[in-house]
């Protein structure tokens, strides 16, 4: 998880630099192309990771993932980094709401309270009426909702598929539609920009694989607290590298959102353990 956090944090900073000369939607295409190339050696060693019969089940995750990536990259290029990240942290909260609405899951009092706290944290960051609703902030909100649907799709996949397969299919299935979107804003990148785009693809591959292994190796409740590292690195990068200045509302709201997300993960892990114990046969 630490490897994934560092990879994603550095990737966001490189996206901000690359977006000065390359449109964010074009960056998404190169992210998928170079990311898939980085995964090539692994796929050649394990061709079974891309079993054709698993393409369709992975399509729903890839569809929501494409929308989330396009929106995220646009937000990173056009909104303060810490603001975009704080809003992005609401994705697990939206995923919980989606599980209730579409999967029939029940919402208990503690779970509902954590959701309310998390969304209150988002309002602290966005501050409707006080903070301008720029396209970058709007893209960050869209990214959070789309990422939530991607989480729900991943939840259905990881119980059956190899985590590396889920990560690889996302690059494969997102590449063609991202190429179509990129055509509408296409301009050939310079050699220097192309180098940055290759770095973005490599970091995306490292981050996705790291994340897959993290969630395959430990419960979400044990993994999510380490996401504080990503928040700290991206906030520091925004200040040091890009001269961004954040007020207490952005930092405090982001901390509230992440704390609510971690509590939800811990609570759901406890409920799952209790359910498993209750269903275990008596010896």
* Residue whose C-alpha is closest to residue 169's, from 87, 12, 246, 63: 63
pLDDT grade for 221, boundaries at 50, 70 and 90: low
Task: Classify residue 249 as exposed, middle or buried by CB count within 10 Å of its CB (0-12, 13-18, 19+).
Answer: middle
Mean pLDDT of 117-130: 75
Domain enclosing residue 224, as ranges: 2-279
State the Cα–Cα distance between residues 35 and 265, nearest whole angstrom: 29
| Whether the Cβ atoms of residue 100 and residue 152 lie closer than 8 Å to each other | no
Which pLDDT value is given to residue 201?
96
Which pLDDT value is given to residue 162?
83
pLDDT grade for 12, boundaries at 50, 70 and 90: very high
Pull the structure tokens for residue 132.
């301008």
State the Cα–Cα distance between residues 29 and 183, nearest whole angstrom: 10
State the Cα–Cα distance between residues 193 and 182, nearest whole angstrom: 15
Q: Work out how many domains the chain is built from and give that number.
A: 1
| DSSP conformation letters of 225-273 | GGGHHHHHHHHHHHHHHH-----HHHHHHHHHHHHHHHHHHHHHHHHHH
pTM for this entry: 0.82
Residue 272 predicted with pLDDT over 70: no
State the Cα–Cα distance between residues 224 and 214, nearest whole angstrom: 10
């Amino acid at each position: 998880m630490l490897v994934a956090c560092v990879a994603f944090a550095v990737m966001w900073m490189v996206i901000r630099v690359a977006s000065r000369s390359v449109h964010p939607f074009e960056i998404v295409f190169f992210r998928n192309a170079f990311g898939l190339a980085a995964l090539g050696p692994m796929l050649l060693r394990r061709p079974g990771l891309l079993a054709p019969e698993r393409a369709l089940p992975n399509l729903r995750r890839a569809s929501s993932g494409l929308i989330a990536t396009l929106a995220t990259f646009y937000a990173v290029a056009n909104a303060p980094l810490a603001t975009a990240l704080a809003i992005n942290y609401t994705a697990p909260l939206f995923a919980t709401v989606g599980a209730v609405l579409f999967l029939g899951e029940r919402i208990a009092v503690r779970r509902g309270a954590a959701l309310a706290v998390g969304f209150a944290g988002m309002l602290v960051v966005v501050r409707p009426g006080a903070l301008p609703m720029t396209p970058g902030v709007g893209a960050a909100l869209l990214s959070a909702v789309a990422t939530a649907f991607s989480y729900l799709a991943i939840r259905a996949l990881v119980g059956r598929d190899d985590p590396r397969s889920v990560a690889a299919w996302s690059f494969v299935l997102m590449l063609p539609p991202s190429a179509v979107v990129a055509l509408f804003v296409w301009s050939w990148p310079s050699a220097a920009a192309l180098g940055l785009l290759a770095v973005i693809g490599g970091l995306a591959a490292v981050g996705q694989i790291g994340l897959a292994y993290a969630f395959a190796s430990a419960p979400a409740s044990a993994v999510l607290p380490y996401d504080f590292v990503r928040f700290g690195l991206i906030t520091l990068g925004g200040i040091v590298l890009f001269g961004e200045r954040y007020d207490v509302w952005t930092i405090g709201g982001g901390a509230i959102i992440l704390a609510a997300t971690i509590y939800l993960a811990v609570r759901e892990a406890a409920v799952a353990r209790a359910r498993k114990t209750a269903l275990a046969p008596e010896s």
